[in-house]
Amino acid sequence: MQKSAPKSKQVSSNSKENQKTSMGYPNLEALLEQDKPDLSAMLMRHEQLVELSQARAGIPKEKAAAKSSALAYDQFFDLFSTLLQVKQKMIDEQKSQKGTLKKK
């Protein structure tokens, strides 16, 4: 009977395999792979940051940090939207290629 590798080594080998297939952004990739990604928590946090950055009262340094963070969220949402469009385009092209192959 063979002994299996210790769990810590099994986990590290799994993470190495994931790194090989991942582009380095596993959370983003997981969102992109979902049919309907749930960004509600991020949208809510973005709204909070915008409100904080526009508040009349508050520490200017915190307001500036909130404004920068809200801008980063805006950029993420733009990028994510573009990635979803590219994904859909690739899916549509793949479907049309399959359709033309079946007709031949």
| pLDDT tens digits along 33-69 | 998 999 999 999 999 999 999 999 999 999 999 999 9
Helix (H, G, I), strand (E, B) or coil at 23: coil
* Residue predicted with more confidence, 39 or 101: 39
Q: What tokens appear for 82 in the block?
A: 């573009």
Residue 85 lies in a domain: yes
Q: What are phi and psi of 97, to 5 degrees?
A: -65, -40
Which pTM value belongs to this model? Answer: 0.68
Q: Cβ(31)–Cβ(80) under 8 Å?
A: yes
> In 10 A of CB 15, how many CB atoms?
12
Q: Is residue 26 part of a domain?
A: no
Residue among 73, 67, 70, 72 at smallest CA distance from 39: 73
Is residue 88 in some structural domain? yes
Residue 9 is assigned to a structural domain of this protein: no
Name the domain count of the chain.
1
Residues 6+ apart with CB under 8 A from 93: none
